[in-house]
Structure 1
Amino acid sequence: MKSDVALSPSDFRDTLPTADASGGRRWLYPRETTGRFTRWRTVVAVVLLVALFAGPFVWIDGHPLFLFNILERRFIFFGVPFWPQDFYLVAFGLIAFIVFVALFTVVYGRVWCGWACPQTIFMEMVFRKIEGWIEGDYNARKRLDASPWTTEKVVKKGLKHGVFFLISFAISNTFLAYIIGRDQWLTLITDNPAQHLAGLATIVVFTCVFYLVFAWLREIVCTTICPYGRLQGVLLDKNSLIVAYDYIRGEPRGKRVKNEEVRGKSLRADQPSLFAPTAPKGDCIDCKLCAQVCPMGIDIRNGTQLECINCTACIDVCDSVMDKIERPRGLIRIDSQANIEQGKPFRFTARILAYSGVLLVLLGVIGYLLVSRPVVDVTVLRAPGQLFQRETGGQVSNLYLVEVVNKTYRTLPIRFRLNRVDARLRFVQPLASVPAGELTKGMFFIDLPEKTIRQNSTPLRIDVLAGNEVVDQIETTFLGPVK
């Protein structure tokens, strides 16, 4: 049932939470929170941080679990190697990921931002924790920033930023290890620095970037730099699950006094409210703790906002307040706007089903392409600038270039077979095997008797065999003279 409870226009914000009246930067000092969602977020953050830092150093059967070597165009996902020839798989994967993000946002809002985004995890679970340990709670941090430069302030600020820089250095090294691999990274940091100036300069640059992000930019990354936050305006609807304030139950808000009636029921039917009936009020006591714990500086009571990252800190602090005043939890909760306004429970809409269908099709296509992906990828091209050559014995030859990519972790014997019995294939240099996980190049001639050539361009098929198994088939053409 729709309620006539509404918020006054004066309750809504008309300024940026990170800007002061003059348009300058307003520094945020979020309070620490405790509660069930905070505990679960901490567990998720620890798992993801361990996975992130361990990723480039976990090897299986002598090979890394992850590698994103952009320079050499080598990629390994969960131990499976990918080459530039597999780019179509990456394209399908990116499309599926975008659809998944859209679907997930339509249904669950910005859970990624608050629970799994590296920016949020490092900022809230690492850098802010360290800041609190060194400078104190949110009030102490405010006083320290407002105070003149004393010995205590210099020591605390210097220690904090020194630790920030060291953590940024560790993050930079980890990301570099993902790119160049564990062994090359170890060589980089243990060898003579003069031999690796480019790599060391890269580490310094990325260390400075990470330090700037977490020591200064902070929430600006989410509101200004990252485009995902702005997408939620077109992805969310009234059926999406979001962190929402139940204004129907909470309004009108105000401080509680004795002998005052509370709208709604008390926590238990057999337990009367602490306040006797006089003037009815909502459950919100306007303590403003939900705004004080928000890492983005917003007041969730103003509704869904661009800055909200669904971190659920406001839910935990509001639940603790409801417990103290003996009111039911959930004044701020994960719910849909439709359920708050009209009491409609969550349901699968046509849009959600459409996104799900597209996602399942894409996942099916990716699965099929992964299963059917050949273990050897062969590219054959006619040598540029070459037509044909007449050889002795009435033979005509064409020169070809070949590239063979071994996508496995074992050396593969390789041989080539033509589909014509009168054709002969001869390599300039022998090519009998391809090393594991490497690209091998070669050149070969194909000879055909001139008397059998009936057209300028004769189609040929080259079978590529690994052992006795045909792993690839190449269609090419043979140029020859026609009388």
Structure 2
Amino acid sequence: MDDHFRETLYTIDTKGRRKWVYAHLVAGKFIKSRAVVAYLLMALYLLMPWISINGKQGVLLNIYERRFIFFGLELWATDTIFLFLTLGFFAITLFFVTAMLGRLWCGWACPETVFLEFLFRPIERLIEGPPAKRIRLDQQPWNFEKIFKKGLKHLLCAAFAWVLASTALAYFIGREPLLAMMEGSPLDHLGPFVMTLILMGVMGFQFGWFREQFCTVLCPYARFQSVMMDQDSLVIGYDPGRGEPRGKAARGAKEPDNGDCIDCGLCVRVCPTGIDIRNGLQLECVACAACVDACNSIMDKMGWARGLIRYDTENRLQGRTTHFLRPRLFVYATLLVLYLSAFGYFLSVRQPDDLEVVRATKETPFTIAENVITNHFTMRLSNKSDRPMNFKLAPAADPRFEVVLPLTETVVMPGKIQELPLFVRFGRGVLDHGKGALDITVSRDGAPDRVLKAKLLGPNE
């Protein structure tokens, strides 16, 4: 097996210049299955901001207001435990899926693959034609045909990029604000408008020019796989025991000493990253199975069995036994169960409100005037439910402290936060070594009373 391929990238020539990949379109069961998955994922991405679940946007990631909604579950900035558990769950899921199924994510569900292979590249094929015509078009001087085709392609791609960018914006600012902004002038909403243009520019650069270079040069997942995969992970591989030595053959007949590979090169021409899968497992392989469909079509024409290139494990490709149940999979599965259990537990004990007393910002811890010490706090009442909440506030009756609170009863609307100023005044010598606390009882309909502590500070005397 030729091993020189490991010294350089397929898409870079000996002088360091990029070699453009003109991937051929191939028919087969895997490309059809990937298309179904890709268009379902696109539909999910485009529709989730517009779907209402329990009266809320399907998915909302409002970083500015620190509100996050996932399929009816609304999380706030104070729900950091759920963020930790979610990130941990997805990380362990990545390890588990990669250890078992290899880079199936890359070829089937990664946004780079989904949008490039099933949205932008089909537009390119529709307008510019198959690879031979695209090569000829790129090499010819600028004329009416080239200007028209390139212009139309970029116009259509820009239109779809606008839809994708606007949808991304809906995830972060909400669908109603987005629609309201679209009805007005871009100058009235310059920030979101500029962000949309930036996203369109990034997509134009990525899907129009950088393309497979992201997978082979920038994406860290390709590097992670080296430590997450083993000899029993699912990969796309070439069976050298069956295919070698290579040689040309007529349908149904071949030289006795030759393998099944007729060295047609179709597996290379259909690869979106330009690699030769016959050289073995490579960093650039995204497990898209285009080479599998291509090789199977040749095997069908030759009248031979399919599977010369196939989804398999390295152990099985080398004639060894595959061990599906492995210690690392048990470890990953156990961690996933623990993360899910912890998520369910914290969700079950999660309060629909969030109450806290914090010291007022941009002020000194306390002030002294005429031997009277004043502490300034902010009471923050957060309603994380979908119904109004009536709060009653009752500071402890302590003759040592004078409490100034503008409201002792208030209604907080769903998804809102109300802040109330709180002043506590007391004389010198009241606190023990300059520290103390005032209890504030908070009552809410249908919930047990809770006691908040305002931590008082004063001179240490």
Which stretch of structure 1 is more off in the superposition, 104-113 or 86-95?
A: 86-95
CA distance in 1, matches of 2:236, 2:443: 58
For residue 147 of structure 1, report the CA deviation from its aligned partner: 2.2
Asked whether the equivalents of residues 375 and 471 of structure 1 are also in contact (C-alpha less than 8 Å), the reply is no
The equivalent residue for 1:337 is: 314
CA distance in 1, matches of 2:7, 2:373: 81
CA distance in 2, matches of 1:479, 1:8: 75
The equivalent residue for 1:302 is: 279
The equivalent residue for 1:161 is: 154
Asked whether the equivalents of residues 339 and 346 of structure 1 are also in contact (C-alpha less than 8 Å), the reply is no
2:442 is aligned with 1:464: yes
The equivalent residue for 1:378 is: 355
CA distance in 1, matches of 2:456, 2:3: 78
For residue 405 of structure 1, report the CA deviation from its aligned partner: 1.5
For residue 454 of structure 1, report the CA deviation from its aligned partner: 7.1
2:242 is aligned with 1:242: no
Asked whether the equivalents of residues 388 and 479 of structure 1 are also in contact (C-alpha less than 8 Å), the reply is no
Which of 378, 382, 392 aligns to 1:415? It is: 392
CA distance in 1, matches of 2:18, 2:459: 77
CA distance in 2, matches of 1:430, 1:210: 53
Residue 377 of structure 2 aligns to a residue in which SS? strand
Letter in 1 for 2:88: I
2:420 is aligned with 1:427: no
CA distance in 2, matches of 1:53, 1:364: 31
Which of 67, 78, 100 aligns to 2:60? It is: 67
Which stretch of structure 1 is more off in the superposition, 371-380 or 113-122?
A: 371-380
The equivalent residue for 2:80 is: 87
Letter in 1 for 2:340: L
Where in structure 2 are the equivalents of 1:72-471 lying within 5 Å? 72-257=65-250, 274-275=252-253, 279-383=256-360, 384-387=363-366, 399-417=376-394, 427-445=405-423, 457-470=435-448
Which stretch of structure 1 is more off in the superposition, 361-370 or 433-442?
A: 361-370
Letter in 1 for 2:69: I
CA distance in 2, matches of 1:115, 1:390: 69
For residue 227 of structure 1, report the CA deviation from its aligned partner: 1.2
For residue 326 of structure 1, report the CA deviation from its aligned partner: 2.0
CA distance in 1, matches of 2:403, 2:79: 28
Asked whether the equivalents of residues 352 and 385 of structure 2 are also in contact (C-alpha less than 8 Å), the reply is yes
Letter in 2 for 1:344: T
Letter in 2 for 1:165: A
TM-score w.r.t. length of structure 2: 0.90
1:339–1:414: structure 2 CA closer, same or farther, 3 Å change rule? same
For residue 479 of structure 1, report the CA deviation from its aligned partner: 5.2
CA distance in 2, matches of 1:60, 1:424: 47
Letter in 2 for 1:340: L
CA distance in 1, matches of 2:65, 2:131: 47
For residue 399 of structure 1, report the CA deviation from its aligned partner: 4.3
Which stretch of structure 1 is more off in the superposition, 61-70 or 232-241?
A: 61-70
Asked whether the equivalents of residues 219 and 296 of structure 1 are also in contact (C-alpha less than 8 Å), the reply is yes
Asked whether the equivalents of residues 357 and 380 of structure 2 are also in contact (C-alpha less than 8 Å), the reply is yes
The equivalent residue for 1:54 is: 47
CA distance in 1, matches of 2:396, 2:259: 83
Letter in 1 for 2:420: G
Asked whether the equivalents of residues 392 and 408 of structure 2 are also in contact (C-alpha less than 8 Å), the reply is no
The equivalent residue for 1:266 is: none
Asked whether the equivalents of residues 106 and 236 of structure 1 are also in contact (C-alpha less than 8 Å), the reply is yes
Asked whether the equivalents of residues 378 and 472 of structure 1 are also in contact (C-alpha less than 8 Å), the reply is no
Letter in 2 for 1:319: N
Q: Which runs of 5+ in 2 are unaligned?
A: none
Residue 78 of structure 2 aligns to a residue in which SS? helix
Letter in 1 for 2:390: P
CA distance in 1, matches of 2:407, 2:440: 18
Question: Once the two structures are superposed, what CA deviation does each residue of 1:405-431 show, in whole Å capped at 9, x if it has no partner?
Answer: 211122111123467787886522454
CA distance in 2, matches of 1:208, 1:310: 28
1:287–1:458: structure 2 CA closer, same or farther, 3 Å change rule? same
Superposition RMSD in Å: 2.9
Asked whether the equivalents of residues 54 and 72 of structure 2 are also in contact (C-alpha less than 8 Å), the reply is no
CA distance in 2, matches of 1:106, 1:280: 37
Residue 443 of structure 1 aligns to a residue in which SS? strand
Question: Once the two structures are superposed, what CA deviation does each residue of 1:425-464 show, in whole Å capped at 9, x if it has no partner?
Answer: 6522454111110111112346899999777544555443
Which stretch of structure 1 is more off in the superposition, 447-456 or 68-77?
A: 447-456
Residue 18 of structure 1 aligns to a residue in which SS? coil
Question: Once the two structures are superposed, what CA deviation does each residue of 1:335-364 show, in whole Å capped at 9, x if it has no partner?
Answer: 110111133134221122112222221222
Asked whether the equivalents of residues 379 and 403 of structure 1 are also in contact (C-alpha less than 8 Å), the reply is yes
Residue 88 of structure 2 aligns to a residue in which SS? helix
Residue 204 of structure 1 aligns to a residue in which SS? helix
CA distance in 1, matches of 2:130, 2:250: 30
Asked whether the equivalents of residues 267 and 291 of structure 2 are also in contact (C-alpha less than 8 Å), the reply is yes
CA distance in 2, matches of 1:212, 1:451: 68
Asked whether the equivalents of residues 380 and 474 of structure 1 are also in contact (C-alpha less than 8 Å), the reply is yes
1:472–1:174: structure 2 CA closer, same or farther, 3 Å change rule? farther
1:125–1:455: structure 2 CA closer, same or farther, 3 Å change rule? same
1:471–1:204: structure 2 CA closer, same or farther, 3 Å change rule? farther
CA distance in 2, matches of 1:471, 1:37: 59
Moved over 6 A (4+): 388-391, 419-425, 447-455, 480-483
Where in structure 2 are the equivalents of 1:18-57 lying within 5 Å? 18-57=11-50
1:222–1:31: structure 2 CA closer, same or farther, 3 Å change rule? same
Residue 16 of structure 1 aligns to a residue in which SS? coil
Residue 232 of structure 1 aligns to a residue in which SS? helix
Letter in 1 for 2:221: Y
For residue 369 of structure 1, report the CA deviation from its aligned partner: 1.7
For residue 238 of structure 1, report the CA deviation from its aligned partner: 0.7
Which stretch of structure 1 is more off in the superposition, 468-477 or 127-136?
A: 468-477
CA distance in 1, matches of 2:75, 2:247: 60
Residue-pair matches, total:
458
1:467–1:339: structure 2 CA closer, same or farther, 3 Å change rule? same
Letter in 2 for 1:76: I
